[in-house]
């Protein structure tokens, strides 16, 4: 049996209202889940939200997850889905599976997780499975909480709020090297002035 952790990381850069978040496994998630299916509510949060659950999956099994929010799509919620395979207490496979826009007025994020046998060893595979889920275009940078989808944002969401952070200027990246070089040159100049290294 494979041990699998499925993690949902969600963020809105414009919404300030508390919102419900819901998840279903192997069954549809209603658009109004917080009213019609309160047992599928996993939390109420504002700004950002993370949800994680671990599952034991025998070889040949599969799970389909649906995840959404009570906010309208114009509230700018995005979700990244990560799947990790854990063996002997450590992560042996870490996958950034999907990203997508969220909202009760658009289809939920849908992800398929499978446990397969490869050369007699259990292996976990995960894929975007429709709805508003799409494959991630890139990994999050250290400055980002999560990556926005590459698809255009829903109506009413300002695209500039979800643009990738600008790259750091070259001098920021090489600052330690520049400081070390300046110190070396300064030290050599000082020694030369003191008469060291002169013939």
Series of mean pLDDT values for 10-residue runs along the chain (199 residues): 92 94 96 97 92 92 96 95 90 92 95 91 92 88 79 89 65 67 77 70
In-domain check, residue 163? no
Q: What is the pLDDT of residue 137?
A: 87
Best CA proximity match to 28, nearest among 38, 40, 18: 40
Residue pair 129/93 in contact by the 8 Å Cβ criterion: no
48 and 108 co-located in one domain? yes
Domain that holds residue 43: 2-158
Domain count, the chain: 2
Identify whether residues 38 and 9 lie together within a single domain.
yes
Look at residue 140 in the predicted model and tell me its pLDDT. Answer: 81
pTM, two decimals, is 0.78
187 part of a folded domain: yes
Helix H or strand E encompassing 34: helix 33-36
- Do 144 and 182 share a domain, yes or no? no
25 within a domain of the structure (yes/no) = yes
The token pair that represents 11 in the structure block: 């963020």
pLDDT score recorded for residue 169? 57
pLDDT at 165 (0 to 100): 61
């Amino acid at each position: 049996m494979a041990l699998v952790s499925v993690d949902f990381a969600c963020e809105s850069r414009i919404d300030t209202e508390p919102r419900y978040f819901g998840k279903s496994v192997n069954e549809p998630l209603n658009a109004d889940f917080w009213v019609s299916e309160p047992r599928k509510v996993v939390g109420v949060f504002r700004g950002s939200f993370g949800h994680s659950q671990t599952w034991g999956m025998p070889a040949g099994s599969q799970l389909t997850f649906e995840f959404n929010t009570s906010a309208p799509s114009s509230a700018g919620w995005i979700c990244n889905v990560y799947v990790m395979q854990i063996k002997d207490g450590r992560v042996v496979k870490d996958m950034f599976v999907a990203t997508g826009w969220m909202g009760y007025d658009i289809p939920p994020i849908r992800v398929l997780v499978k446990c397969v046998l490869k050369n007699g060893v259990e292996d976990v595979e995960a894929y975007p499975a429709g709805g508003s889920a799409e494959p991630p275009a890139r990994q999050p940078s250290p400055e980002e909480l999560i990556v926005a989808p590459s698809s255009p944002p829903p109506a009413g969401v300002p695209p500039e709020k979800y643009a990738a952070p600008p790259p750091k200027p070259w001098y920021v990246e090489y600052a330690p090297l520049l400081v070390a070089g300046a110190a070396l040159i300064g030290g050599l100049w000082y020694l030369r002035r003191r008469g060291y290294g002169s013939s």
